[in-house]
Amino acid sequence: MESNRQKKIAGILQQDLVDVLQRAASDGGLKGVIISVSKVSVTVDLSMAKVYLSIFPNKEAQPLLEGIQSNKPLIRHELAQRTRHQLRRMPQLEFFIDDSLEYIDGIERSLKEGDNPIENPDLLDDRKKS
């Protein structure tokens, strides 16, 4: 259960991270790449923030994540500058790809392509675990 303080800090980080990452992507010559921060969760001691990123188009996700990982100190410094009046200490940042949108898209695609077990109950036999 997250405390209000954790939620507040996560909210501040989420808002500023979107700006920082989107600007870094466009400065780095990545046109047409959309980076959104889908979730930030902060540990109880406020020392670590897990940042979940949604990156579109998806084929850019892995190389972009690696670039973000290698620039963590710069990103953290930029965030610290932006939040210096709100946060005393900047948490360490850990970045992850949030593939929930891709997962949902896969479900929707399979439902549209006739892979729908509701309309075709025979498909359920293929999915049962032995």
CATH 2.60.40.10 describes domain 4-98: no
Instruction: State how far the Cα of 66 lies from the Cα of 64, in Å rounded to an integer.
Output: 5
> What separation in angstroms does the CA of 71 have from each of 28, 75, 85, 124?
12, 6, 23, 46
Quick one: what percent of the chain has pLDDT higher than 70?
Answer: 87
Residues belonging to the chain: 130
Q: What is the pTM of this model?
A: 0.74
The domain segmentation of the chain, as residue ranges, is 4-98, 100-130
11-25, 42-56, 86-100, 108-122: segment of lowest average pLDDT: 108-122
83's CB contacts (< 8 A; 6+ apart) are 12, 13, 16, 90
Q: What is the pLDDT of residues 4-61, one digit of tens each?
A: 999 999 999 999 999 898 887 777 777 778 888 999 999 999 999 999 998 888 887 8
Write down the mean pLDDT value for the chain.
84
Inform me whether the pLDDT recorded for 123 exceeds 80: no
